[in-house]
Amino acid sequence: MIIYKNSLKSFNTFGLDVTALKIIKITNINELYYIWEKYCQKSIPYIILGNGSNVLFLNHFRGIVIINRLKGIYINETQNHWNLHVNSGENWHQLVKYTIKKGIFGLENLALIPGCVGSASIQNIGAYGVSLQNFCKYVDIMNLLNKKITRLSCIECNFQYRNSIFKNFYMHNYIIIALGITISKKWKPNISYKDLNHLNLYTITPHEIFSYICTIRKKKIPNPKIYGNAGSFFKNPLVSNKLGIQLLKTFPNMPYILKNNIFKISAAWLIDQCNLKRYIKGGAMIYSKHSLIIINKCKAKSKDILYIAIKIYNCVGNKFGIWLEPEVRLIGSLGEVHPSSIFFHNH
């Protein structure tokens, strides 16, 4: 167990200079028990972070930040499948690299997504036509109040677009311990996504898809070590068939995916239509290469980033009647804050 000084600057990818009461890195369950009994049971606020790649601290945090470094990857195989049991503090991208090196193919479309395995389950991460739920067999969670570990099946996790049961029912007093992943040995490339469908289905290899996706992501998303960011700030909105068709009449070049009568619209395109590219407030800015990303350009404060996010929310909402949902988790001084208390509209 390592206890750090109270600056969170290197524990959030926005690189915001905020503090916590204590920052403690754990590498095993016993350390977690110890911290829970010493601090959290006494009503001291706490949050659990992996790489801090999907959070915006709104102020200094008046509690304990637990950095999850529960490590371990265990593999067993059947005739047709690889079964992986991965502890929640493992880095997601390193896991993808590790599987490809081992000749286990299937996760390559999810390369270079920041964060740890635990957060991957919370967010149901997805990219380039693939999401975590396609591979998840189970998630092991621990109830911190009674130390009981429960295994939830993929269906019980209630995975949806950037959503899961871990964002509501299992949000408080639970920690994700591990993830079970099942990958078929019959590898088929998934190149249905528009950025990939020029690739040759018959000759492409998993290694090529992996490196191609890494290249695309590096071009679109700035390195947080250079410009602090949390990737996409908002989710791509899902709208009704009626609204989608209505919008297409006015904006025939609107990029969308239509599935089960639901339109999934590019949030970056919506933002671009509001002429917000390179919009600046204080030390924060909308990234010039991808409008869904807000960057810490130069010593930004939380309020600068939040100001831009609210500006985007209101501009897109007023122009299109679509009220974007943040993908980034908002952390107040006492814990996670529901977006509706910050992003709200009258309609």
Q: What local confidence, expressed as pLDDT, does residue 347 receive? A: 45
pLDDT tens-place string over residues 121-164: 999 999 888 999 999 999 999 998 889 999 999 999 999 988 99
Higher pLDDT, 344 or 6: 6
- pLDDT exceeds cutoff 70 at 190: yes
pLDDT average, residue stretch 264-276: 95
Separation of alpha carbons 234 and 149, rounded Å: 32
Distance of alpha carbon 171 from alpha carbon 347, whole angstroms: 29
Q: Report residue 224 CA to chain centroid gap.
A: 14
* pLDDT digit string, tens, across residues 101-118: 999 999 999 999 999 999
Least confident of 16-30, 167-181, 198-212: 198-212
Mean pLDDT confidence for 223-240: 94
DSSP characters over 115-171? SBHHHHHHHT-EETTEEGGGTEEEEEEEETTTTEEEEEETTTTT-BTTB-GGGTTTS
Residue 5's pLDDT is what? 77
Query: What pLDDT was estimated at residue 243?
Result: 92
Write the pLDDT tens digit of every residue in 296-310: 999 999 999 999 999
Predicted local distance difference test score (pLDDT) of residue 168? 87
User: Going by C-beta distance under 8 Å and a sequence separation of 6 or more, which residues neighbour residue 270?
Assistant: 237, 316, 319, 320, 322, 324
Query: What mean pLDDT do residues 71-77 have?
Result: 97
Does the pLDDT of residue 84 top 50, yes or no? Answer: yes
Helices 206-220 & 92-101 angle (0-180, nearest 10)? 160
DSSP code per residue over 276-295: -TT-EETTEEE-TT-TTBEE
> How far does the chain reach from its first CA to its final CA, in angstroms?
49
Give pTM, 2 decimals.
Answer: 0.92
pLDDT value, residue 31: 93
pLDDT of residue 346: 52
Please state, rounded to an integer, the average pLDDT across all residues of the chain: 92
Give CA–CA dist 281/292, Å, rounded.
15
Neighbours of 204 (CB within 10 A): 14
41 has pLDDT over 80: no
Q: How far apart (Å, rounded) are the C-alpha atoms in residues 217 and 163?
A: 22
Q: Annotated catalytic sites, by residue?
A: 162, 232, 327
**pLDDT exceeding 90 applies to what percent of the chain?**
79
Domains by residue range for the chain, with CATH: 2-68 (3.30.43.10), 73-220 (3.30.465.10), 238-341 (3.90.78.10)
pLDDT-based confidence at residue 2 (cuts at 50, 70, 90):
confident
pLDDT greater than 70 at residue 200: no
